[in-house]
Amino acid sequence: MTDSAPTIRLELPPLQEHGPRRARTLMIQGTASDVGKSLLVAGLCRAYTRRGLVVRPFKAQNMSNNAAVTHDTDAQPGPDGEPPRGEIGRAQALQARACGVPPSIHMNPVLLKPQTNIGSQVVLRGRALGNCPARIYHEMRQGLMPAVLDSFERLCAEADLVIVEGAGSGAEVYLRRSDITNMHFAERAGVPVVVVGDLDKGGTMASLVGTWRLLDQADRDRVVGYLVNKFRGDFSLFEPACETITEITGWPFRGMVRWFEGASRLPAEDSLALERPAETTGGTLNVVIPRLSRVANFDDMDPLAAEPAVNLRWIEPGRPIPAETDVVILPGSKATRADLDVLRREGWDIDILAHVRRGGRVVGLCAGYQMLGRVVRDPLGIEGEPGETPGLGLLDIETEIGADKRLIEIDGQEQRSGCRLTGYEMHMGRTTGAGLERPWLRLEDGNGDVRPEGAISADGRVMGGYLHGLFGADAFRAHWLEQVGAQAAHLDFEARIEAALDELADHIEACLDLDALLALAR
């Protein structure tokens, strides 16, 4: 994306009346990205909710292509008369679930969805405003602070406790003037801060002391203590380091959280998790997913990874798709045409076509579905430079990227299998073509209305559609696995996530003094 690409028009949503602040608040900032802030906040949300508090999560700005659909009444109506829907980062949706409440656009008012190395789609309070190069967004984002503070105060008016998550490192002082999510936000919102260091990465002592060194005195005073996260081993060996950190910074040590083995059973926040992909072995069905450059909503694969019969493997750039593959899944992407170029650059297009000739199966989800068609057009330059890119030609469809984003939740019955399906659509493309006459799914809603979804090849081996989350439906997942020759374990996937959240809360309860931590909130 160049600076001449379409950029956003900053039109703030109307700020509505809300009640006075009721909640106490506490902010979890990190010394870096991927120190475990999101998971820690999710565990705290569940733990305090179990204690009878009304808890809400909040993250002013998130950068992630893993998003979830919300249905706030004050979100923007969708195209074609669709009801109001919004989107927020997957991490905040999981944190909302930990609180036992539906996700809301106010839990993550600014969502950045990377489309290139230098630019992102900007989503403000659930509505996609357009694309913005990073330099331009940096210059204008302080203008988003009124909407951010308004969303925060809405949550504070309805909750007993709001747990705020920072973004990346709170010590990036060169960004402070335009900051809307770390120390500048904490100052404007009057929120105390706990800083988290990651012992698994190493350099924890230096990162905490370095954070203190970079902050000005007012921001140092806003910090009410620090935590050490992801610890393994004998903590007594690290205690002298804590004494030194406190001696230098004056920040009290507030506790240590040991490594949580159940983290892999919870949806990951963003594609950083794929830097260390969890691979499953020992099954009979070999499923591979090419690691695209702008992979989105990759937690679609989590239910399959949980199945013992499935060997799930992400294929990294530079590696071919193995010949013993049974199913190739093309995942969602925030930049369909750019990731089609990635497929060709890596030679994965040749591997996929050879896989189909050998009788293998291919599934495309959302952007992956678009890639299976004959062409993807982007005349307005929504995802990058205007133009068109040939698809893989495995389905007789074509897609045009448009300005309207379809955000809709699905809850119905798949007519052919008789299985209930839940999920959501989140895309800006419209797909047409003769291939739609042979839909992959037929979704029947509660009124008995049936609509076709997706497309399937004449031989039934190539299929795709826009529905995210369909493999999370236990009966449908078992039905699909049987179709492709594997035995399902009949897991209750949603119960698995709930159990993992409870285990996370138990883990944090065992590691931290939650009464003392709550006393720091104000």
Catalytic residues: 366, 468
Cα separation, 83 vs 241, in Å, equals 54
The three-class DSSP label of residue 149 is helix
The residue among 329, 342, 365, 364 whose CA lies nearest residue 293 is 342
**Cβ-proximal residues to 339 (8 Å cutoff; 6+ apart), any chain:** 292, 293, 294, 295, 333, 367, 371
Residue 331 contacts residue 469 (beta carbons within 8 Å): no
DSSP letter assigned to residue 468: B
- DSSP per-residue codes, 353-372: HHHHHTT-EEEEETHHHHHT
Residue 79 makes CB contacts below 8 A (sequence gap 6+) with: 404, 405, 406
**Side-chain-facing half-sphere of 438: CA atoms under 13 Å:** 14
Closest among 182, 37, 41, 141 to 98, alpha carbons compared? 41
Which residues are paired to 163 by β-bridges? 26, 57
Which candidate, 23, 24, 26, places its Cα nearest to that of 194? 26
- For 80, left (φ over 0), alpha (ψ -120 to 50), or beta? left
If one counts every other C-beta atom within 10 angstroms of the C-beta of residue 11, the result is 8
CA distance linking residue 108 with residue 122, whole number of Å: 12
CA angle (206, 194, 239) in 5-degree steps: 50
**Single-letter code of the amino acid located at 203:** G
